[in-house]
Every structure is written in C-alpha cells, then in structure tokens.
Amino acid sequence: MSQTILVTGGSGYIGSHTTIALLEKGFEVVIADNLSNSSIKAVQAIKTITNKPVSFEQIDLLDKQALDQIFDNYPIESVIHFAGLKAVGESVEDPLRYYNTNLVSTLNLLDSMQAHNVWNLVFSSSATVYGIPETVPIPETAKTSAINPYGQTKLMIENICRDVAASEKKWNINLLRYFNPAGAHSSGQIGEDPTGIPNNLLPYVMQVAIGELKELSIFGDDWDTPDGTGVRDYIHVEDLALGHLAALENLKNGAHEYNLGTGSGASVLEIVKTAEEVVGKAIPYKITKRRPGDIATSLADPSKANNELSWRADRNLKSMIIDAWKWQSENPKGFNTD
C-alpha cells in the first residue's frame, strides 16, 4: 500500500507542482489549503495532468479541530508543509498577521502530528533566513539573520523544528531553504498565479509580455554585479518539486537544513533579455530606486543537497522562461479565466 502524504498549501505554486511529483511517484496525497492565495482550479489541473485522484480538504491550519480531523480521517505518514503567508513587503506592513498565521499554523500542525504519531516532516523554508549573506554562494552553515518578518517566521519555525526534534527522537525533519523558484509545469496547465502585482520577477516579466501590465520595474541598476542589476539563483519549480521528493525519501533522525538552488545566478536584465528571445518581442522596463532590504547577489551552495539527497537542479534559465511563457500565454489571467 502506498504511503499517504499530507501537503499543506498544496494548491499553491510550489505545493501544486510537488503534489504532481508525489502522485507521479505513486504516493497518495491529501491537500489541506484554505485557498487564500491559490485556486481550486489548481487541484483540478493536478488531477488532469496526473490522471490520478487527490484528496482535497479546504481548511485553515489555524483551525486546530479541522486539522485534527484530517489526521483522524486519513492514514497520514508524512507531511510536507508549504502553508503560510509569503510576501516580504506585506510582512513588513502587517507583521502581526504574518507571525500569527505562519507560527500558530505550524505549532498546530506539529501538535496534531505528535498527537497522531506522525513524525516525518519536510518544511518549506527560504533563503531569506540568511538575511544579508557574508559569503556567496551561501552554505547551510552560514550565519542566519532574517531582515523582515516573513524571513523571521521561517527562521523561527526552523528553530521550533530543531527544538521538537531534540526533545523527541522519533522526529525526522528536513528544512528546505529555497532560493528563487521560477517557471511552470511543462504541460502549461499549472504555474505561478499571483494575486495583484506579482512579488516575484518572472511572473512580473510574463505579465508585461502578455500585456496585463504596462512595464517592469527594476529596483536599482547600481548594484555590485556585472550589469548593475540584482543577481539571484533561479530554480525551476519542477526541479524544486523533485527536491521535496528527495527530501521525503531521505528523511533521517533529527532536523536537517538543505539549500535548494542551482549554484549559478542570473541578473534581472539577463532574465529580461532571455524572456525577449522566448516571447519574440521587447519587454518595456524602467529603472527605479533600490528596495530596502534588497541585496546585490544571492546564490545557493547546493552541494549538501546534491550529496545527501542525491538531488540536483538541472533545468536551465531558458527552460524556466519557456515553461513560464507557455503557462502565461495559455492562461493570460492565470486561473481567473471567468
């Protein structure tokens, strides 16, 4: 009998792609999502792509009773935890909401898991836990110092996981620090579907390319990088999904941190230039001032995940943009097609 995995936030961008990877590998999946930043259409797309059933429970993890009910109703053996608020700027404007949602939902989840004897957890953390890095590429041993409430919640949850793993030897926890997820499923049926103006660069570029937005804002062209624009480690969302699969299949006692990235970077202008090649037209942009808290370069040192999880990100920047454009051009308004 195949293992049943609870995926919290499983209809979101990374959660939905990971759910596809799990189903294709033969796992049973239960998605728990409150749909606050995702669409039920993602769940339908998952079923269409995989031709497999997936259980969906619309609950908020802040509702402890509803969460316990899921563990009562399904034979869950492991959890991949994506659910949470994720916009850096919004977290600065409304820190209480971020601390309450991200921390309390995780505390509820860990409590329910413990009560139901479920000890396997893969947690969706973030490279924001490194703050302003002292060295690049960044190894997992680098100093952590989040510089915004969103990053603080990720770091606090990592610490909570380390503490529970130290207190009870049954816990097996992998903490995945992703760099910059990008792209979409190669089918074009599922992709990043932000509400409002996108926080991430590639969907912003795609929405300008499709005509939904007038122009791209580039935050500073005076950074200490080859072309003056910020350099980031972009990872194809399908590679990232496979990283979760590898983390699930390589759980071991205690709590362990892994960077998920490629180890190589692309600048904002490189992304724009590659996107122009893919879509076949110019993408208008303007240079604006730097955003507070931004950094010049952020690159992963992914060697620990390469070695210990037998995982490697191998899709390149162009394939991310080709897949993102396929999703965007076939779904100009994302899942909001009505």
Give the DSSP H/E element, type plus range, for residue 309. none
Chain segment 23-41, per-residue pLDDT in tens: 999 999 999 999 999 999 9
Establish if 312 belongs to a structural domain: no
Q: Would you say residue 34 lies in a domain?
A: yes
pLDDT at 197: 82
The enclosing domain of 16 has a CATH number of 3.40.50.720
**Residue 55's pLDDT is what?**
98
Give the whole-angstrom CA distance, residue 66 versus residue 37. Answer: 19
- Domain contains 94: yes
Q: What angle do CA 12, 13, 15 make, to 5 degrees?
A: 60
Report the pLDDT value the prediction gives residue 1, as an integer from 0 to 100: 63
Q: Name the pTM for this structure.
A: 0.97
Res 337: pLDDT: 60
- The verdict on residue 207 lying in a domain is no
Q: Considering its fold, how many domains does the chain have in total?
A: 1
DSSP secondary structure string, 195-227?
Answer: SSS-SSHHHHHHHHHHTSSS-EEEE-S-SSSTT
pLDDT digits (tens, 9 = 90+) for 68-90: 999 999 999 999 999 999 988 89
The answer to whether position 323 is within a domain reads: no
Q: Other C-beta atoms within 10 Å of 260: how many?
A: 27
Dihedral over alpha carbons 269, 195, 183, 271 (to 10 degrees):
0
The tally of CA atoms less than 13 A away on the side-chain side of residue 136 is 20
Alpha-carbon separation of residue 27 from 97, 183, 238, 252 (angstroms): 34, 24, 17, 19
The pLDDT value recorded for residue 294 is 85
Domain containing residue 131: 4-182+235-261
- Tokens representing residue 160 in the block: 């909570």
**Residues acting as catalytic residues:** 150
Q: In the chain, which residues have pLDDT < 50?
A: 338
Residue 257 β-bridge partners: 175
Is residue 145 domain-resident?
Answer: yes
Structure tokens at 130: 């490194």
Q: CA 309, CA 19: separation in Å to the nearest integer?
A: 19
In a domain, 222, yes or no: no
CA distance 228 to 322: 25
Long-range CB pairs of 213-219 (<8 Å, 24+ gap) are: 214/284, 215/284, 215/285, 215/286, 216/272, 216/283, 216/284, 216/285, 216/286, 217/285, 217/286, 217/288, 218/268, 218/269, 218/272, 218/285, 218/286, 218/287, 218/288, 219/288, 219/289, 219/290, 219/291, 219/294
Residue 189 placed within a domain = no
CA end-to-end span of the chain: 40
